[in-house]
Amino acid sequence: MRRTRSLLSLCACLLVAGMWQGAVAAEQFTARKLADNIQLITGPSGNTLAAVDTDGVILIDGVPAKLADAYLVFVSNLTGTDKIKAVVNSHWHDESVGLNAKLAAKGVTIIAHANTRQWLTTTIRKRGEEVLHKPTPKAQLPNKIFYDKFSLPFRGGNIELGYMLHAHTDGDIYAYFRDQNVLFTGPTVRTDSWSAVDESTNGYIGGFVDAYDQLALLVNDKTTVVPISGPVIGKAEFDEQHTLYTKLMKEMVALLRKSRSAEEVVAANPAIGLKPQWGDPSVFLDEGFRSFYGNLRDARHLGGAMP
């Protein structure tokens, strides 16, 4: 009996300790209301949205798996409910899909582009060597996929999900709340660091600039643009980044046509001085330049096919 009681009190202590840790860890996150029933949640891995519908919460993007518990505690405290009805994965990286295992176990709908699901089923390697991802168990994969557009009912309107061909990866999607004029850009737009393309899963700098073109069609003077990480921006800042990356890609094309290597492009650093507050642009330049190699017949971006 005494042993039972001490075990019970040990369990209670662990439970309290676990809750306390969850609460402390949840402090890594902050929230800000962007519109009625739409909260921006910012944490160590960037931005997500919690759209509070009448019958549960829709999450736009996840957090890395190691932050999942703390994040879900935060969302529950913020929204006053544990009922999450759907999560949207903007691409296959851990920062977007890290909630899937926990939410799949609760029967939550996990929405992604078909290519994102496809990548998650496979072993992904960087340049044939470094393993970036091992196959996700089937029960934790996105269970609602689409190819071009998908409409998700929300508060009498819709959340429009749209595909951006070969940008950061080949499965990127945005989420646009048309009635509230809030645009979650997906992984192409960052406002606190250089973006990069993941050339191991068909990210492409030409498609990355196309994604900016595509998002630009949705952005107007009143749009709240939510990047995957960094501060929320409006049209002026969005347009500035759009122009910056478009020009930079043209300079990289010029270096490609002079037969420069990726190492030479990083050393030449055509991004120098453009956004010093974003830190080192090497990964953007290196991966972006290498992503040309699989697209040398893309005359539209390269100014004519490469000889």
Binding of Zn ion by 46 (CB under 5 A): no
> From the CB of 195, what's the least distance to Zn ion, in Å?
9
Find, among 138, 184, 152, the residue nearest to 57 by Cα: 152
Quick check: 163 and 157 in contact, CB under 8 A?
no
190 sits near Zn ion (criterion: CB under 5 A):
no
Residue 186 contacts Zn ion per CB under 5 A? no
The DSSP output letter for 192 is S
Task: Give dist(CA 205, CA 306) in Å, integer.
Answer: 16
Round to whole Å and give the CA distance between 231 and 226. Answer: 8
Minimal distance in Å, beta carbon 168 to Zn ion? 6
Residue facing Zn ion at closest CB distance? 93
Per CB under 5 A, contacts with Zn ion among 223-242 are: none
Residue 129's CB: how many other CB atoms inside 10 A?
Answer: 6
The piece of 92-100, 136-144, 172-180, 235-243 that touches Zn ion (CB under 5 A) is: 92-100
Q: d(Cα 154, Cα 267) in Å, to the nearest integer? A: 48
Q: Using the rule CB under 5 A, which residue among 79, 87, 93, 271 binds Zn ion?
A: 93
Note whether 166 binds Zn ion by CB under 5 A.
no
Residue 8 — left, alpha, or beta (φ > 0 → left; ψ -120 to 50 → alpha)? alpha
Nearer CB in complex with Zn ion: 64/206: 64
State the pairing for strand pair 84-88/224-226: unpaired
Nearest-angstrom CA–CA distance, 41 and 26? 11
| Residue (179 or 192) nearer to Zn ion, CB | 192
Quick one: 162 or 187, whose CB is closer to Zn ion? 187
For the bound state, the minimum distance from the C-beta of residue 90 to Zn ion, rounded and expressed in Å, comes to 8
| Cβ-based nearer residue to Zn ion, 93 or 133 | 93
Single out the segment in contact with Zn ion by CB under 5 A; choices: 40-48, 85-93, 155-163, 203-211: 85-93
Give how far Cα 149 sits from Cα of 51, 116, 186, 299, Å: 19, 14, 14, 27
| Residue 45 Cβ vs Zn ion, minimum distance, rounded to whole Å | 10
Number of shown-chain residues binding Zn ion (CB under 5 A): 2
Which residue ranges make up the site for Zn ion (CB under 5 A)?
Answer: 93, 187
